[in-house]
Amino acid sequence: MIVLGIETSCDETSAAVLKDGKNVLSEIIYSQDKIHEPWGGVVPEIASRQHVKIIDSVVKEALKEAKIKLKDIDLFACTKGPGLIGSLLVGFTFTKSLAYSLSKPFIGVDHLHAHIEAAFLENDEIEFPVLALVVSGGHTSMFYLEKPLDFKLIGKTRDDAAGEILDKISKFLGTGYPGGPAIEKIAKNGDPEKFKFSIPLIKGGGLDFSFSGTKTAAYLYIKKGVVSKESSELSDFLASFQKSIIDHIISNIEKALDDYLVKSLIVSGGVARNMELRKRVSERMNARNIKVYIPSPRHCTDNGSMVAFLAYKLYISGKKDGWNSDAYPRFREGEKNISISSSEKIRKRYK
């Protein structure tokens, strides 16, 4: 079975061809980083226009590399949400129209679920129950999966996403875009204990995240002139800033592990490319005997393979979309964090 997976939820245009749910025959990822660099962040209208310009050639290239024709595709898949609505609609309309014109099935997948599936695409031995964290420029969300495809949202950011504050502070300092990799590079030789950032405490927040306080603290250090792009303490400052983000992520994972007894942890999304995060999460989970699965850096970022793979799994489990289905910019209505009381029940069940 051949699946074409298309991803356009933010600023990457990607198409991948997947055979029999395991062999990636081709994957093209076109990044708009250079286009958004002058603004220090993704400009939604520019992103959707760029998708319109490029999507046709990205798909053609993916077909060519896979050595197949459009008529060979059995299932057409794309990202349905959440994401930038203009960007999503380009991929969604393009994919749905192709499927309709060829009378083939069509599936729109959830972007965050697809990020998690990138780990299963690369490793088919992941044991359930699973705790999964998606940490990117647009999202910081935690899921509990008791069994395959059973995604339960148990925590999400109340304000900014982790990648978003890395991008914003890097923009404010003038250290480059995207901020995550730029900061990681400078922070490498810095002292992470030099500058103080407190871990956010969210009253009644359960497993939710909050990054806006850390962003404001970093902003004030810069605004008051304590640190600048030119100062000798820049690497210490950025190492401390990066550490505070990782500390918050790890502290929430550990909180979740008090409620949910899991065998595996998945960390995915653009920020999961960060080597310090990968290292620290792995060390902490080793100590708890929990196996950690972090996709390869290429598959942490937005890509068509994860879309094709999730759509394949949904399709063989009997799901497909109707022609009247639509894209959605935010979490689907009704998809709220499950409460701690229900998580307590889950813990009891696995005792």
Q: For binding to ligand KG4 (CB under 6 A), which residues are involved?
A: 10, 136-138, 163, 166-167, 178-181, 184, 269-271, 273-274, 301-302
Q: How far is the CB of 28 from ligand KG4 (least distance, A)?
A: 15
Strand runs labelled E in 106-181: 106-110, 130-135, 140-145, 151-156
Among 79, 87, 136, 268, binds Zn ion (CB under 5 A): 136
β-strand partners of 145: 130, 151
Closest CA to 269 of 245, 291, 286: 245
Check: CB of residue 215 under 8 Å from CB of residue 160. yes
- Neighbour order of strands in the sheet with 2-7: 23-31, 12-19, 2-7, 75-81, 106-110
Q: How far is the CB of 84 from ligand KG4 (least distance, A)?
A: 10
Nearer to ligand KG4, 133 or 346 (CB): 133
Binding partner of 178, given Zn ion, ligand KG4, none, CB within 5-8 angstroms per partner class: ligand KG4
Binding partner of 153, given Zn ion, ligand KG4, none, CB within 5-8 angstroms per partner class: none
For the beta carbon of residue 189, count every other beta carbon within 10 angstroms.
Answer: 9
- The sign of the CA dihedral 112, 113, 119, 121 is negative
Total number of residues that touch Zn ion (CB under 5 A): 2
Q: How far is the CB of 230 from Zn ion (least distance, A)?
A: 33
Q: How far is the CB of 93 from ligand KG4 (least distance, A)?
A: 20
Q: How far is the CB of 11 from Zn ion (least distance, A)?
A: 10
Nearer to Zn ion, 184 or 302 (CB): 302
Binding partner of 273, given ligand KG4, Zn ion, none, CB within 5-8 angstroms per partner class: ligand KG4
Binding partner of 301, given Zn ion, ligand KG4, none, CB within 5-8 angstroms per partner class: ligand KG4
Binding partner of 155, given ligand KG4, Zn ion, none, CB within 5-8 angstroms per partner class: none
Q: How far is the CB of 238 from ligand KG4 (least distance, A)?
A: 11
Scanning 37-178, the segments in alpha helix (DSSP H) are: 44-66, 85-101, 111-122, 162-173
- Sort residue 206 into left (φ over 0), alpha (ψ -120 to 50) or beta: left
Q: Is residue 313 classed as helix, strand or coil in its secondary structure?
A: helix
Nearer to Zn ion, 110 or 302 (CB): 302
For the beta carbon of residue 278, count every other beta carbon within 10 angstroms.
Answer: 17
Nearer to ligand KG4, 155 or 163 (CB): 163
Sequence letter at residue 294: I
Distance of CA 207 to the CA centre of its chain: 18
- Helices and strands in the chain: count of H runs, count of E runs: 12, 10
For the beta carbon of residue 225, count every other beta carbon within 10 angstroms.
Answer: 8
Q: How far is the CB of 112 from ligand KG4 (least distance, A)?
A: 9
Nearer to ligand KG4, 73 or 272 (CB): 272
Binding partner of 304, given ligand KG4, Zn ion, none, CB within 5-8 angstroms per partner class: none
Nearer to ligand KG4, 195 or 260 (CB): 195
Site string for Zn ion, 269-308 (x = CB under 5 A): ---------------------------------x------
Token pair listed for 72: 């060979």
Check: CB of residue 309 under 8 Å from CB of residue 18. yes
- Residue 339, exposed/middle/buried by CB under 10 A (0-12, 13-18, 19+)? exposed
Q: How far is the CB of 163 from ligand KG4 (least distance, A)?
A: 2
Nearer to Zn ion, 43 or 261 (CB): 43
Q: Which residues bind Zn ion (CB under 5 A)?
A: 136, 302
